Amino acid sequence: MAARAGTGVFMAMPQISLQTYVMTRYVEEQERSQTMSKFGALNSVGVIVGPFLTTLLLAWGILAPLWAAIIILSLISVVIVFGFERSSTVQSAQQEHVLNTANTDSDFSIYQCSAWLLLGFSLYLAIVTVNLTTGFYIQDYFHMSIAQGAVYFSQCSLIVGIALVVMQSLISRYLQWSVYRLLWVGILSLTTALLISVQTEHIRIFQFLYILYGIAVACLIPAFTTGAAKDAPKSMQAKVASWCTATQALSFVLGPILSTGLYQWHKSYPYYFLLLLMLGLMIYFSMIGIAQDKKKILLNQNDMVDG
C-alpha cells in the first residue's frame, strides 16, 4: 500500500513539470494546445502498449515488468536531466522577454482560472464515472452475463483508446483549433454521447458512442490545461500546473464515491448527473463568452471615441 501511495505521489510530479514546461516554452494558445495533445497522444499510446508489453514480460517472472519499468524510467530521467537543460535554457531566454511583457500581473490567483479548473474537475469526474459504471451498465441494461459484459466492455475500451489517439494526433498536427473551439467540440461530443447512451437499446450503438467519448477527452484535456494557464504569468505556471493536478486528483477521489452511490439508486443516474454537469458547463462558459464579447465591444467603442 505504501508503494502504491508513493507511485501516486511520483506520478504527479512529471505531469506538473510537463505542463509547466509547455506553458512557459510556448506563448500562443494553439501551440500550447497542440503540444499538450501531442504528449496526450503519446500517453494514450503508452496506455495501449503497456498492458501488451507487461503480458510479454510476465513470461520472465512476475517482477519482470516492475524491473523493466524501473530501467526505462531511469534511462528516460537521465536523458531529460542531462539533455533537457542545455536545449531549454536558450529557448526560455529567447521567450522570457515576450512572456514577461504579456504577463505583468503578479496578483494572479486561483479565482482567475477557476472556470477551467471546474472544467477539468468535471472532465475527470466524467472519465471516472463512465469507466467505473460502464461494465455494470452493460450487464444490467442490456441483460448480459458477466462474461459477455466483459467482452463488450473491453471492446469499448479499445474503441475509445483508438479514437483518443487519432483525435489527439489530429489536434497536434493538423487542426489549428483555439482553446474555445476545443472546449465546445469536447463538451458537445461528451453531451451527445451521454444523452444517446441512456436512450439507445442497441449495444453496437452504445459502443459506437465511445468514439465520441474519445473525441471529447482528446479536446477537453488540452482545453483544460491550456485554458487554466493562458492568463497566468510565467512565474505562476508551476502553481497553475499544481492546481490542475490537484483538481484531477480530487475528481479521482470523489468520482468513485459519487458514481457508485448514484448507480445504486438507478443505473442511469450517473449518466444523467453528468448530463446536468455538462449543461451547467455550457451555460457557464456561454455566460463567460457573452461577458468577454461585451467587454470587447466596450473597448472598441472607447477606442473609437478617443480616436
User: pLDDT by residue (tens digit) across 115-142?
Assistant: 999 999 999 999 999 999 998 999 999 9
The stretch 253-278 carries a mean pLDDT of: 93
Q: Which residue has the cell 458547463?
A: 281
Of 297, 267, 271, which Cα lies nearest the Cα of 137? 267
pTM: 0.78
44 to 35, 158, 166, 214: CA distances (angstroms): 14, 11, 10, 11
Nine-digit cell at 292? 468577454
pLDDT surpassing 90 at residue 263: yes
Query: SS3 for 61?
Result: coil
Length of the chain: 307
Cα–Cα distance for residue pair 141/260, rounded to 1 Å: 16
The stretch 144-173 carries a mean pLDDT of: 88
pLDDT surpassing 90 at residue 210: yes
Predicted pLDDT at 291: 85
Predicted pLDDT at 16: 62
Contact 37, 172 (CB under 8 A): yes
Amino acid at position 47, single letter: V
40 to 27, 50, 184: CA distances (angstroms): 19, 15, 19
Q: Any idea what the Cα angle at residue 228 is, between residues 224 and 229, rounded to 5°?
A: 120
More confident residue, 119 or 100: 119
Cα–Cα distance for residue pair 59/53, rounded to 1 Å: 11
Contact 271, 201 (CB under 8 A): no
Cα–Cα distance for residue pair 136/73, rounded to 1 Å: 35
Winning range, highest mean pLDDT, from 29-43, 81-95, 205-219, 243-257: 205-219
Cα–Cα distance for residue pair 161/218, rounded to 1 Å: 10
Cα–Cα distance for residue pair 81/105, rounded to 1 Å: 31
Contact 170, 300 (CB under 8 A): no
Burial 33-64 (b: 16+ CB within 10 A, else e): bbbbbbbbbeebeeeeeeeeeeeebeeeeeee
pLDDT surpassing 90 at residue 182: yes
